[in-house]
A and B are shown apart, each in its own frame.
Chain A
Amino acid sequence: MASEWLLEMVGISKSFPGVRALDDVCLRVRAGSVHALIGENGAGKSTLMKVLNGMYRPDVGEIRLRGEPVQINGLKGALDLGISMIYQELNPIPAMTVAENIFIGREPVYGRSGVVNRRKMNADARQLFETLGLAMNPSARLSSLSVAEMQMVEIAKAISFDSEIIVMDEPTSAITDREVEKLFEIIRTLKAANKAVIYISHKMNELFQIADEMTVMRDGRYIDTQLTDKLTTQSLISMMVGRRIDEMFPKEDVPLGEVVLSVDGLTQGDRVRNVSFELRRGEILGIAGLMGAGRTELVETIFGIRKSSAGRIQIGGQPVSIATPRDAIRNRIALVSEDRKLMGLNLRASVKDNISLINLARYCNLGGVIRARQEVEVARRQIDRFKIKVSSYRQIVDTLSGGNQQKVVIAKWILTNPDIIILDEPTRGIDVGAKSEIHKIMVALAREGKAIIMISSELPDFSQEAVMASATGSH
């Protein structure tokens, strides 16, 4: 009983066909603490957490709760043992209400009738929100909420199980700074109630703000566990990647050329109001600002996904009208969209098919028959150029890591030979190594004379950009 640790995962190994996902990994978590789990994409963090929540059974290893060895049988088994999890990918049911989403599968009923006691359910949800200090209507439909609000519902749901251990996998990837602050308050309350939080994030500043202890993983192996006080961003990153950070984000100067894009008074809905700016060759224009400030709406309007209500766009000094993405592509604009799974990729197709899709006609004869050898050659060239890690150009994109998927999107758009490249959160949810590579790609493109617009909420991304702008709605 008298164990120092609330949770111990010892000597955990797990293999999948062809991959050793976890190799003798250890994780020890104290009650009343926030324990950060850190590593690049593919380091095995998510796999380890899936072992913890019962989704995977380890090949070897032991899990102990308060010193007692336990068997975790499925998600339900994990919940029964007091382990709940907030997933990186949201799984809301849009047509159901907030309260219904939270209490799904354990709805309060009248007696033993099976008829849902809606009033009690809403009251319970309201009380939950009160304790968490959230202002949310339990009977609002999920479909009416923003992504950030849905994430907060997901967090509330995980906490409503009253678990001892709460795993949070990238809980802040979709929420604004204000909600992050709220989340941190909630985490501190949980800590005070002697619960343990396992926190996974790629955002360094958050980790140092909230974590008490950090465990670093790399390539499916356990590297080290340290108290946060004993760590710096520098030392943490070199533990994660085995290299130093200043080698990873070198600063470079790129000479600027003529103006290629000028936007004047662009307006769309109530998020984008009267936005004007100019963009030159060789320039990397950063658009900062909070999520929800209208940044994505702005670039989607420029790209013809959304219709503008006012404003002019000039490309190379000529006024253009862009009503559809086809028009934008014809004007040599590329958009690496915010959500690569939603707009960027066909996850069910191969790397090659994704890369060649936009200008497929270029690799076809007049009859529309694909010149297969040429297409393969082009795909291979892009894979080499952007160092995309694939087993073959035939690999299905769904099976790639986030960073490699993002590189496929970039490779696909660069193949259209654009003059203007818009990158919306290009480094979201990918690891430091891949971030560094994407930065290098951007600088190389700017050097070639491309003009680049980059949206990012992660401030370190801006460390070396030529210009910084702020588009917070009107501007």
Chain B
Amino acid sequence: MSMASLASADGYGNKVKQIAARYGIYIAFVVMFVFLSLWSPWFLTFDNILNILRQCSINGIIAVGATLVIITGGIDLSVGAIVALAAVSAASVAHPDSYPVIVPILVGLAVGALFGGINGFIIAKGRIAPFIVTLGMMTIVRGGSLVMSDGRPVINLSDEYNTIGGGYLWGVPLPVFLFIAVVLIGAFLLHFCKFGRHVYAVGGNELAAVVSGLNVGRVKMGVYTLAGLFAGFAGIILSSRVMTGSPAAGAGYELDAIAAVVIGGTSLAGGTGAVLGTVIGTLIIGTMNNGLDLLNVSSYFQQIVKGIIIISAVLLDQYTKNSR
């Protein structure tokens, strides 16, 4: 074989690798989507797609917050518990004929932002690892929601409140719109604003950010506050959808959110990543759950598959990065 043909074959292989490295996660999603469409006649129906999107929306909203935190090189384990506390707090002021519906919404958001803010404050001022701070906060907040509700779910919520998570607009579930809104807000902050640029700078090289005169503490407070705020929002939607403010809600949601972020290509080392990747990561998890249901795979087995997919996604990412 001549040198020229060798070189061009090599160039072709590299091009394929580059494309795989850049769009691997999107390609994986499309392949999965096409496969499920062919396999199951129910998969590619309007109702089922809406169903997937609705199921994705709560995890997706939390995952947008987690994306910001993870890009700074941090982690937030408390968001699942914040979902529960926001759900219980909002539900307790959402009984029929008590307050207008805006009140429980503001209460839920405020509770989320408050505890997220406390996380950020301790991490920034106390210089403690985010893992430790948010692990502690997870227990505190979970305990708080149990104390507040006396361990019992808060029921008997107003119809208006129940519309937030259960309602439809133009035949599409409301949570889907709320998810899209949070994604747009997150993407706008991260990719078009000074704040977002500072988030990347802190995660990429914190010392360089300090030397460049950035207020690193304020950036950290910002991302954890937003993560808490979005978790609070997710708590409102969840409690509204199931018409119950449960102190047990949201258990393990923090890990689903982290999984979506990581599958979406954001590195836990910080400094890289994007909201769009997280959206795809969320959709992959949601589509997979749905697909496995349609294929009659037991929910026990689904957990195993989910774990395998998370690890494979990161392996693929590593492999393509190294071969670059």
Contacts and interface: CB of A to CB of B under 8 A. Distances in A.
Interface of A: 15, 17, 303, 305, 324-326, 328-329, 335, 337, 342-349, 353, 356-358, 360-361, 364, 367-370, 372, 412
**3 nearest CB pairs, A to B:** A346-B204, A348-B271, A329-B213
Contacts of A337: 211
Given A342-B207, A347-B204, A357 B212 contact: yes
B193 A346 contact: no
Given A17-B14, A357-B201, A369-B192, A345 B211 contact: no
Given A346-B208, A347-B204, A349-B200, A326 B192 contact: no
A197 to B, nearest CB: 31
Contacts of A17: 11, 14, 18, 324
23 contacts: A17-B18, A17-B324, A305-B211, A324-B213, A325-B213, A328-B213, A337-B211, A342-B207, A343-B207, A343-B211, A344-B211, A345-B205, A346-B201, A346-B208, A346-B209, A349-B204, A357-B212, A358-B212, A358-B213, A360-B198, A370-B193, A370-B197, A412-B212
A345 B208 CA distance: 6
A335 B197 contact: no
B195 interface: yes
B149 interface: no
Contacts of A367: 193
B272 A348 contact: yes
Nearest to A353: B197
Contact of A325 (B195, B198, B200, B210): B210
Interface string B15-32: 000100000000000000
B215 interface: yes
A370 B194 contact: yes
Interface centre among B18, B210, B272 (most CB of A within 10 A): B210
Contacts of A303: 211
Interface in B170-220: 192-195, 197-198, 200-201, 203-205, 207-215
A369 B272 contact: no
B201 A369 contact: no
B118 to A, nearest CB: 24
Contacts of A369: 192-194
A348 B204 contact: yes
A344 B210 CA distance: 10
Q: Classify the secondary structure of B's interface with A.
A: helix
B205 A347 contact: yes
A329 B207 CA distance: 15
Interface residues of B, number: 28
A146 B211 CA distance: 22
Interface string B62-82: 000000000000000000000
Nearest to B200: A349
B292 to A, nearest CB: 35
Contacts of B204: 346-349
Interface centre among A345, A349, A358, A372, by most B CB within 10 Å?
A349
A359 to B, nearest CB: 9
Contact of B197 (A328, A344, A360): A360
Most chain A CB atoms below 10 A, which of B11, B14, B201, B272 = B201
Contacts of A345: 205, 208
Contacts of B214: 357
A364 B192 CA distance: 10
Contacts of B197: 353, 356-357, 360, 370
Interface in B235-271: 271
A406 B184 CA distance: 36
Nearest to B206: A346
A337 to B, nearest CB: 6
A325 B192 contact: no
Contacts of A347: 204-205
Contact of B213 (A326, A348, A372): A326
A349 B212 contact: no
Contacts of B213: 324-326, 328-329, 358
A325 B193 contact: no
Contacts of B211: 303, 305, 325, 335, 337, 343-344
A241 to B, nearest CB: 29
A367 B189 CA distance: 11
A348 B206 CA distance: 12
Nearest to B324: A17
Nearest to A17: B14
Given A344-B208, A348-B271, A364 B194 contact: yes
Most buried by A among B14, B193, B204: B204
A201 B192 CA distance: 43
Contacts of A335: 211
A15 B10 CA distance: 10
Nearest to A359: B213
Nearest to B18: A17
A118 B23 CA distance: 50
Given A349-B271, A357-B197, 6 more contacts: A17-B11, A346-B201, A347-B204, A356-B197, A364-B193, A372-B192
A124 to B, nearest CB: 35
B113 to A, nearest CB: 18
A348 B270 CA distance: 9
B184 to A, nearest CB: 14
A348 B271 CA distance: 6
B167 to A, nearest CB: 31
Contact of B194 (A15, A344, A361): A361
A353 B7 CA distance: 35
A314 to B, nearest CB: 21
Contacts of A412: 212
A346 B192 contact: no
A360 B211 CA distance: 14
B194 A325 contact: no
A346 B200 contact: yes
Interface string B301-321: 000000000000000000000
A331 to B, nearest CB: 11
Nearest to B11: A17
B130 to A, nearest CB: 19
Interface in B1-60: 7, 10-11, 14, 18
